[in-house]
Structure 1
Amino acid sequence: MYFYAARQPILDKNKNLFAYELLFRDSIDNVFPEVDGDIATSKMIEASQFNLGISEFTGNKPAFINFTLETMSKGYPAMLTPDEVVVEILETVKPGKKLLALCKELFDNGYILALDDYEHQKVWQHFYPFIKIIKIDLHKTSFDEVKVIRQAISAYPHIQLLAEKVESYEQYNEAMEHGFELFQGFFFSKPEMVKSKNLSPSQVAMAELLYETSKPELDLASITSVFERDVSLSYKLLRYANSAIFRRRSEISTIKQALVILGSSELKRFIGLMFAVNVNPDKPSELINVSMTRAKFCELMANEAKTSVDISIAFLTGLLSMIDAILDEDLASILEKLPLAQEIKDTLLVGKGTLASLLRIVSFIEHAQWSEISEELTELGLNKDKVIQCYHDALVWADEQTVHVEG
């Protein structure tokens, strides 16, 4: 059984992945605030212990999980190790002696504690010695109020400020200027700046490969020649083909051999991943991870919808759904330069059809917008439990693949 949870990345000021927050819902049809906070946390802990496992869901990064006073009193944080969890104290919990004692006990046992949606009150100063992270919602708190908070915690240099709901690079940069060290939101999934530019030689080679592998019949000679012009690409192809995930009995030593052994579907997947990972190495790795998750999700769901979709097309469409953010360029301008199937371009630009619906569904899951999903599921004839299972499987797959294609 899969639990209904989305993971939202938390990045440091260098845009490296720091942790994930797990956002739980009882089901797609039962959405916060209707779910009691105690029940939500209890089910999250139960699911992580007996079903999926926190480390599998978060790629061995710490998981921020909300706790109420009641769930803290019952010792639920101790069901996870200090390396697995950041104990996030819900904003509805009032500061008091009982909470202070629980915080001290968790701190002494090595747990990291965070205050969620912090609203400044002087009474919280008693908690500062045990608090590592203070989360501030930028939609609710002005930067003038942030200055007051920074002054209040100035005697506690171990405390880090985390900016929530950072949706643009402007917000990210402004938050950094005001002393924030951690950032939660999807600013990284939007273009940092929109501009027109030419593709580099490496990007052109990738585009050629995307074009060649989009043909019904692969032209091995043409594909081999593209790889042979780029030493780095050749190395990565051979390394990927020889990786443990394929359990080969003998070593693959030539480009042509690697192409034949991988086969059409796996080759298309590899080239798509290579394009996403290498097209702009300066972008946050989590952006690539989200793109990979979308690709795998679309591939897994392609055969589940009423209208069947080619899985290779589905995979590549999901992968390229964030290409504007990866390249920091207008989507239409990018797609003009890439010789892709018209079905992919129509999906990404017009937003109509089965694949566009699948992209909307995965976007809703990423943002934990469960109430928005039902209409799309009904239209495609999809089972909600199957959708969640495919999303979780896609997350795990994407985390594993990153290791194989970035090296």
Structure 2
Amino acid sequence: MFFYVARQPILNRDKSLFAYELLFRDGMNNAFPNISADEATSKLVESSQFSSGIDDLTGGKLAFINFAEEAIINQLPTLLPNETVVVEVLETVTPNKNLVHALTTLKSKGYTIALDDFIYDEAWNQVFPHVDIIKIDIQISGLSEINELRRKLKDYSFKYLAEKVETYEEFQLGSTLGFDYFQGYFFSKPEVIQKRALNPSQIAFADLLFETSKLDMDVNKVCASIERDVGLSYKLLRFVNSSAFHRSRKIENLKQAIVFLGQQELQKLVAVIAAAQLSDNKPSELMRLSITRARFCEHLAVLYGRKDDAPKAFLTGLMSLIDAIMDDELKNILDRIPLSQDIYDALIDKRGVLAYLLALAVSYENANWARTSQIAKKLKISEADLPDLYLDATSWANAYSEFDEEE
């Protein structure tokens, strides 16, 4: 049996990463045949592969995990570390004495408790003393309902988390309403649809990004540009010596780094660093998502049997969020970049193999398991291989982000 595990970011009011909710396939089609969501959660948590891979999925951040009533009563969360996991009580759970006792026990063991998709009912009063976080679906609960809920719960020191936040307008409204955390992909969309003015340093990085996008990239020209930029040289050296690569000997100079990486890896790294520079003042999770998606697309190309197209797939994944990074229409940006026609077709016209690989990556990261299965079958890609590839992509992105965020 294999497990689909995706993640959705949870940001704080400063748009910094607070945690991830881990989302998994729990009973559809062939993933978990003929078992309940509760049993699916049990099998997931008991999986040694999952237990050992939480940090790789979350980069050391908190992991929100849904637990149904039986799983909570049976103390299933205790199989996972209390400093890592937030026990998310599903909205389908019925508040009763057994549940209260179970949550009391979990709380005494140091677990953080959250109520998912919460809608007020007096029956939950007995549970509130053990709760830390209230999650509210802002697509379901209106302004008046949210204000009324806050009034009823004013005697409790809950943190409030807004779910399904898909636009910056919703994020701003949630901030005004006093929400502490925000879950959704609002940060991955342009804040304003107009070209953002770039500073001289960003313009230089944009030029470098455009240069590395060329099929006939001039390696010597790119290397010379890197050598003239101390910051970029430093980032390159930090990266090749990071945990993304398993090296026994440290690389100590730029020439060694360039030789070690080779043209394709150098092209990929420069694209990532340039995109990171362009995403200055944007949520760090936006760049992490871009890198994860790029790496995942690269893996999918190899799995599909198109290894030669892996660099294109990487760039397709990375560029799929460039509109949010640069706050401009995607077509406007790509018209200024000398990308190959198949990458352009994938991003703008949604056609070609690269478009399918990107769609598979996006459906997986959004935990749209039905769509994931549909595309995987069309491409004749084994669904059983996807979890490991996604885990590697998140680990790779985390390794890059670790040193990049230290700057």
Question: Given the two structures, how large is their TM-score scaled by the length of structure 2?
Answer: 0.92
Mind listing any 5+ residue stretches in structure 1 that lack a counterpart?
none
With 229-238 and 4-13 compared, the bigger mean Cα shift is at: 229-238
Match in the other structure for 2:142 = 142
Matched, 1:236 2:242: no
Q: Which amino acid aligns with 2:90?
A: L
Describe the shift of the 1:193–1:299 C-alpha distance in structure 2 as closer, same or farther (beyond 3 A): same
With 211-220 and 196-205 compared, the bigger mean Cα shift is at: 211-220
Matched, 1:384 2:383: yes
Q: 2: distance between equivalents of 1:180 and 1:82?
A: 24
Match in the other structure for 1:321 = 320
CA drift of 1:262 comes to: 2.5
Q: Is the 8 A contact 1:47 1:53 kept in 2?
A: no
Describe the shift of the 1:337–1:112 C-alpha distance in structure 2 as closer, same or farther (beyond 3 A): same
Q: Is the 8 A contact 2:239 2:400 kept in 1?
A: no
Q: 2: distance between equivalents of 1:308 and 1:381?
A: 15
Matched, 1:368 2:367: yes
Q: 2: distance between equivalents of 1:170 and 1:235?
A: 38
Q: Is the 8 A contact 2:205 2:277 kept in 1?
A: no
CA drift of 1:284 comes to: 1.2
Q: Is the 8 A contact 2:115 2:135 kept in 1?
A: yes
With 230-239 and 242-251 compared, the bigger mean Cα shift is at: 242-251
Match in the other structure for 2:132 = 132
Match in the other structure for 1:25 = 25
Describe the shift of the 1:79–1:344 C-alpha distance in structure 2 as closer, same or farther (beyond 3 A): same
Q: Is the 8 A contact 1:118 1:134 kept in 2?
A: yes
Match in the other structure for 2:170 = 171
Match in the other structure for 1:281 = 280
CA drift of 1:352 comes to: 0.5
Q: 2: distance between equivalents of 1:319 and 1:352?
A: 17
Q: 1: distance between equivalents of 2:277 and 2:402?
A: 13
Q: 1: distance between equivalents of 2:353 and 2:130?
A: 50
CA drift of 1:330 comes to: 0.8
Q: 2: distance between equivalents of 1:394 and 1:330?
A: 27
Q: Which amino acid aligns with 1:156?
A: Y
Match in the other structure for 1:16 = 16
Percent identity of paired positions between Structure 1 and Structure 2: 44
Q: 1: distance between equivalents of 2:276 and 2:153?
A: 39
Q: Deviations over 1:162-204 (max 9, x none)?
A: 1111111111110111111111111111111111244433233
What is the Cα-based RMSD across aligned positions, in Å? Answer: 2.4
With 184-193 and 368-377 compared, the bigger mean Cα shift is at: 368-377
Match in the other structure for 2:106 = 106
Q: 1: distance between equivalents of 2:242 and 2:388?
A: 26
Q: 2: distance between equivalents of 1:335 and 1:142?
A: 38
Number of equivalenced pairs:
405
Match in the other structure for 2:225 = 226
With 124-133 and 231-240 compared, the bigger mean Cα shift is at: 231-240
Q: 2: distance between equivalents of 1:265 and 1:305?
A: 19
Describe the shift of the 1:29–1:52 C-alpha distance in structure 2 as closer, same or farther (beyond 3 A): farther
Q: Deviations over 1:38-87 (max 9, x none)?
A: 11221221225666532222222121111122111211011112112111
Q: Is the 8 A contact 1:116 1:136 kept in 2?
A: yes
Describe the shift of the 1:324–1:28 C-alpha distance in structure 2 as closer, same or farther (beyond 3 A): farther
Q: How does 1:31-180 map to 2 (within 5 A)?
A: 36-47=36-47, 52-157=52-157, 159-180=158-179
Q: Is the 8 A contact 1:28 1:373 kept in 2?
A: no
With 349-358 and 33-42 compared, the bigger mean Cα shift is at: 33-42
Q: Partner of 1:53: helix, strand, or coil?
A: helix
Q: Is the 8 A contact 2:26 2:36 kept in 1?
A: no
Describe the shift of the 1:363–1:17 C-alpha distance in structure 2 as closer, same or farther (beyond 3 A): same
Match in the other structure for 1:202 = 201
Q: 2: distance between equivalents of 1:207 and 1:279?
A: 7
CA drift of 1:106 comes to: 1.3
Q: Partner of 2:322: helix, strand, or coil?
A: helix
Q: Deviations over 1:68-110 (max 9, x none)?
A: 2211121101111211211111111111222112222211211
Matched, 1:187 2:209: no
Q: Is the 8 A contact 1:3 1:47 kept in 2?
A: no
Describe the shift of the 1:216–1:179 C-alpha distance in structure 2 as closer, same or farther (beyond 3 A): closer
Match in the other structure for 2:271 = 272
Q: Which amino acid aligns with 2:94?
A: K
Q: 1: distance between equivalents of 2:348 and 2:99?
A: 51
Q: Partner of 1:337: helix, strand, or coil?
A: coil
CA drift of 1:34 comes to: 8.1
CA drift of 1:304 comes to: 2.2
Q: Is the 8 A contact 1:15 1:284 kept in 2?
A: yes
Q: Which amino acid aligns with 1:239?
A: R
Match in the other structure for 2:292 = 293
Describe the shift of the 1:205–1:39 C-alpha distance in structure 2 as closer, same or farther (beyond 3 A): same
Q: 2: distance between equivalents of 1:328 and 1:34?
A: 46
Q: Which amino acid aligns with 1:399?
A: N
Q: Is the 8 A contact 1:172 1:187 kept in 2?
A: yes
Q: Deviations over 1:226-276 (max 9, x none)?
A: 2244332233223334546363746533x4453233311221121121022
Q: Partner of 1:310: helix, strand, or coil?
A: helix
CA drift of 1:14 comes to: 0.9
Q: 2: distance between equivalents of 1:180 and 1:51?
A: 30
Q: Deviations over 1:307-328 (max 9, x none)?
A: 5652211111111110111111
Match in the other structure for 1:399 = 398
Question: Given the two structures, how large is their TM-score scaled by the length of structure 1?
Answer: 0.92
